[in-house]
Amino acid sequence: MATGPRTPRDPRLDFFRGVAMLIIFVAHVPTNLWTLYIPARFGWSDATEMFVFCSGFAAAIAFGGTFVKAGFWYGAARILYRVWQIYVAHIAMFLFIAGLVFTATLLLDNGKSYVSALGINWFFDNAGRGLTGLFTLTYVPNYFDILPMYIGALIMVPVVMALARFSPYAAMAFSVAVYAGVWLLGWTMPSHPDFADREWFFNPFAWQLLFFTGFAFSRGWLPAPPIRRGWVIAAAVFVVVTIPMAHWGTAKHYEILRELREIVWAARAKTDFGLLRYVHFLALAYVALAIVKGREHMLRSNWVKPIITVGQNSLAVFLLSMGLAQVAGMVLDTIGRSPLTFALVNLSGMAVLVGFAYWCTFLRQQPWRRITADHDARTSSESKPPAARHRSAGQDRPFLDSAAPAE
């Protein structure tokens, strides 16, 4: 049976994932001047919210259909396999970066301990317990906390999909109930074996609310909000009004702004994902959706393609960016910090990430398969008698001629 043309991939998801990946790189370069200008300095939400929301949206695309078409247990198996992949990636990333900063501390004669700067001295001082904590996710130091949070959210997907079989509202109610457990019951995850009061910097019980918001929009459980002028204005006003309070460079000069920051501090908490962050992100996303509406074709232009490519390879790019950010900080320690060197290091780092994303895309396309197939076809043709090759060529010609215009 003939099939219709494939629906073009919506570029918005990959575009915003790509933007988030580049911002996350800039944010993780130590003492980076450019971090003064990332979105986190001007609002309650930041690139982390973009990453988590888009991850939930993408997870629904990647795994949601499996639960419906292949059954619950097959869908759950796919989720567990993905959890295993993320878990291994987290362990490998930590060990690589730990080895990197340890080696740099020994080899770079600048009097700086990159191990201390990253806050992982305890791991080296308690190697046995450190490895146990690393592998059990009971030792999750800052800087290495996004992937564990993502694992926590993914583990809840089978529960959410099981509840969705009864009603999508039951699935969303479960997410809200887990989030409420953070604020009412203190649900959290310990991040250090010696300090019971230290929790994962990104509490998965809290951040799953944003993950499953993206999941629900992707599955169609929540309808996409209509773009209405009044709503857009209200969302934009809210985003703009929060800037003076969120931007410390402005707030520190005005007592009223400092007092307002104190009042809303818990509601903008990053670890437990305060509701103010949630509302701010939704408002910002709605404004962005309104801006892009009707202009989606612009996201398919050549100048946007590098960002799209980064978004299509977000996990691989993220893993590289975490180590690359540390290298960038070491380079700045070596060549000095000035507007020129900051620009050089940040732009070079982003260029490396873009190039790496293209390389990942190239490998995913498996061009060697096409080359092997072409070689096998030529070998098969050359092994035929001359008359047979002539007849075969004559038979193939109409097909090739008819296919050429379509290509």
Segment 323-381, tens digit of pLDDT: 999 999 999 999 999 999 999 999 999 999 999 999 999 998 877 676 666 656 666 66
Q: Identify whether the C-beta of residue 62 lies closer than 8 Å to the C-beta of residue 218.
A: no
- Closest among 27, 46, 101 to 346, alpha carbons compared: 27
Identify whether residues 349 and 202 lie together within a single domain: no
pLDDT at position 375, please? 59
Residue 278 to residues 19, 135, 285: CA-CA distances in angstroms? 19, 31, 11
Last residue of a domain, one of 293, 322, 357: 293
Identify whether residues 194 and 224 lie together within a single domain: yes
Q: What tokens were used for 108?
A: 């770079």
Residue 276 pLDDT greater than 90, yes or no:
yes
pLDDT at position 252, please? 92
Region 315-327 average pLDDT:
97
SS (H, E, C) the chain: CCCCCCCCCCHHHHHHHHHHHHHHHHHHCCCCHHHHHCHHHCCCCCHHHHHHHHHHHHHHHHHHHHHHHCCHHHHHHHHHHHHHHHHHHHHHHHHHHHHHHHHHHHHCCCCCCHHHHHCCHHHHHCHHHHHHHHHHCCCCCCCCCHHHHHHHHHHCHHHHHHHHCCCHHHHHHHHHHHHHHHHHHCCCCECCCCCCCCECCCCHHHHHHHHHHHHHHHHCCCCCCCCCHHHHHHHHHHHHHHHHHHCHHHHCCCHHHHHHHHHCCHHHCCCCCCHHHHHHHHHHHHHHHHHHCCCHHHHHCCCCHHHHHHHHCHHHHHHHHHHHHHHHHHHHHHHCCCHHHHHHHHHHHHHHHHHHHHHHHHHHCCHHHHHHHHHHHHHHHHCCCHHHHHHHHHHHHHHHHHHCCCC
Which residue would you say has higher pLDDT here, 218 or 6?
218
Residue 403 pLDDT greater than 70, yes or no:
no
Identify whether residues 316 and 284 lie together within a single domain: no
Which residue would you say has higher pLDDT here, 390 or 262?
262
Flag whether 15 is in a domain: no
Identify whether residues 330 and 258 lie together within a single domain: no
Question: Rounded to 5 degrees, what are φ and ψ at 199?
Answer: -120, 165
Count of domains forming the chain: 2
Question: Which residues lie below 8 Å from residue 111, measured CB to CB, with a gap of 6+?
Answer: none
Residue 117 pLDDT greater than 50, yes or no:
yes
Residue 389 pLDDT greater than 60, yes or no:
no
Share of the chain above pLDDT 70, in %: 88
Flag whether 18 is in a domain: no
pLDDT at position 138, please? 96
What is the sign, positive or negative, of the torsion defined by CA atoms of 260, 265, 270, 272?
negative
Name the β-bridge partners of 190.
Answer: 199
Tens digit of each residue's pLDDT (9 = 90 or more) over 30-87: 999 999 999 999 999 999 999 999 999 999 999 998 999 999 999 999 999 999 999 9
CA 326 to chain centre: 19
Identify whether residues 84 and 231 lie together within a single domain: yes
Identify whether residues 348 and 200 lie together within a single domain: no
Region 171-200 average pLDDT:
95
pLDDT at position 381, please? 63
Q: How far apart are CA 334 and CA 329, in angstroms?
A: 9
Q: What tokens were used for 10?
A: 């919506």
Region 124-146 average pLDDT:
94
Q: Which of 299-313, 353-367, 392-406 has the lowest mean pLDDT?
A: 392-406
Share of the chain above pLDDT 90, in %: 80
pLDDT at position 394, please? 45
Identify whether residues 316 and 276 lie together within a single domain: no
Identify whether residues 89 and 112 lie together within a single domain: yes
Range of 334's domain?
A: 308-367
pLDDT at position 299, please? 87
The band of 296, judged by pLDDT with boundaries at 50, 70 and 90, is confident
pLDDT at position 295, please? 86
Q: How far apart are CA 20 and CA 13, in angstroms?
A: 11
pLDDT at position 288, please? 94
Residue tagged 């291994």 (tokens)? 88
Flag whether 387 is in a domain: no
Flag whether 358 is in a domain: yes
Identify whether residues 221 and 346 lie together within a single domain: no
Q: How far apart are CA 259 and CA 251, in angstroms?
A: 9
Region 296-322 average pLDDT:
93
Flag whether 94 is in a domain: yes
Q: What tokens were used for 148?
A: 């564990």
Flag whether 167 is in a domain: yes
pLDDT at position 1, please? 45
Identify whether residues 316 and 235 lie together within a single domain: no
Residue tagged 């703009």 (tokens)? 240
pLDDT at position 405, please? 32
Flag whether 166 is in a domain: yes
Residue-averaged pLDDT of the chain: 89
Residue 309 to residues 21, 53, 236, 280, 312: CA-CA distances in angstroms? 11, 18, 29, 27, 5
Region 103-108 average pLDDT:
94
Last residue of a domain, one of 246, 269, 293: 293
Identify whether residues 130 and 246 lie together within a single domain: yes
Name the β-bridge partners of 199.
Answer: 190
Identify whether residues 209 and 348 lie together within a single domain: no
Residue 263 to residues 184, 190, 244, 256, 257: CA-CA distances in angstroms? 19, 27, 14, 11, 10
pLDDT at position 407, please? 32
Flag whether 37 is in a domain: yes
pTM, two decimals, is 0.88
